[in-house]
C-alpha cells in the first residue's frame, strides 16, 4: 500500500518568510532611530545671529526657556540654522546622573598630591553640572551647539547617545558668577581645592 504523501504547507511557509523579511527590513530601517521616543522638540523662536558678543548667552537663555532656536543667516550660504532642543527626561536623565556621579567620584578619588589644575577644573564643572541637572536647568540637543564660553559662562556638555548617525548631547550652561568655585578652580591649589 502506497503511503500517503504529506502535503507541504506552502502558504504557511511563504507567510513565515514574508514576516521574517518584513521584520528584518524594519529593524534595518530603525538602525538610525533612537531606542526611545524623545517626544517633540521645544517650539522654535528666532535669535539674532549677528551680534557675536551676546549670541551664546541669548542662545543658552532661549534653550533654558524651553524653546528651540533658529539663527537667521547663520547656516551654510546664509541659510537659517535651527537648533532643536528637548528636556532631559527618562533614560537620558538617569544616564546623565549616573555618568556625573561616576565622574565626580573618579575625580575626587585622585590623591590631592597628584591632582592637577585641570583635575580641579573638571571636578568643579562636574559638580556644577550635577546641580544644574538636578534643578532641571539643562537641555538636550542632537548636534553640537554654537555656544562659546568666555569669562562668565562655561557650557559643559556630555554625549548621551550615538547610533546610526544620530547623536544626543546634554548641555549644562554654568554661570561662574552663580558657581564661583568653577572660576576659583582654575587658579586654586589642586591639593586643597574642593568644590563649594
Q: Where are the domains of the chain?
A: 44-185
CB neighbourhood size of 119 (10 A): 18
Residue position matching grid coordinates 556638555: 157
Distance, in Å, from the CA atom of 108 to the CA atom of 195, rounded to the nearest integer, reads 10
Q: List the one residue out of 65, 60, 67 whose CA is nearest residue 175.
A: 60
Angle, alpha carbons 34-39-44 (nearest 5°): 115
Q: What is the pTM of this model?
A: 0.74
Residue position matching grid coordinates 534595518: 28
| Paired residues of 167 in beta bridges | 162
Distance, in Å, from the CA atom of 82 to the CA atom of 47, rounded to the nearest integer, reads 10
> What is the 8-class DSSP label of residue 77?
G
38 burial type by CB count under 10 A (0-12 exposed, 13-18 middle, 19+ buried): middle
pLDDT of residue 29: 42
Helix (H) or strand (E) holding 20: helix 10-29
* End-to-end Cα spacing for the chain: 94
pLDDT of residue 124: 93
Q: List the one residue out of 56, 71, 65 whose CA is nearest residue 152.
A: 56
Per run of 10 residues, the mean pLDDT along the chain (length 196 residues) is 58 66 51 61 82 74 89 73 88 90 92 89 94 94 79 88 80 93 88 81
Dihedral (Cα; 138, 140, 143, 144), 10-degree rounding: 20
Distance, in Å, from the CA atom of 10 to the CA atom of 160, rounded to the nearest integer, reads 48
Amino acid at each position: 500500500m502506497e503511503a500517503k504523501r504529506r502535503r507541504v504547507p506552502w502558504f504557511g511557509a511563504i507567510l513565515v518568510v514574508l514576516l521574517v523579511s518584513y521584520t528584518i527590513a524594519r529593524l534595518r530601517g530603525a538602525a538610525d532611530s533612537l531606542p526611545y521616543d524623545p517626544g517633540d522638540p521645544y517650539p522654535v523662536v528666532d535669535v539674532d545671529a549677528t551680534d557675536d558678543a551676546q549670541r551664546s548667552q541669548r542662545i543658552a537663555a532661549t534653550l533654558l526657556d524651553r524653546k528651540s532656536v533658529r539663527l537667521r543667516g547663520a547656516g551654510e550660504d546664509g541659510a537659517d540654522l535651527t537648533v532643536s532642543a528637548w528636556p532631559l527626561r527618562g533614560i537620558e536623565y538617569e544616564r546623565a546622573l549616573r555618568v556625573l556621579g561616576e565622574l565626580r567620584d573618579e575625580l575626587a578619588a585622585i590623591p590631592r598630591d597628584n591632582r592637577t589644575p585641570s583635575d580641579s577644573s573638571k571636578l568643579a564643572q562636574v559638580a556644577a553640572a550635577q546641580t544644574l541637572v538636578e534643578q532641571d536647568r539643562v537641555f538636550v540637543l542632537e548636534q553640537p551647539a554654537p555656544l562659546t564660553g568666555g569669562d562668565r559662562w562655561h557650557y559643559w556638555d556630555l554625549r548621551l547617545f550615538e547610533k546610526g548617525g544620530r547623536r544626543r548631547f546634554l548641555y549644562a550652561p554654568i554661570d561662574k558668577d552663580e558657581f564661583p568655585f568653577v572660576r576659583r578652580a582654575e587658579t586654586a591649589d589642586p591639593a586643597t581645592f574642593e568644590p563649594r
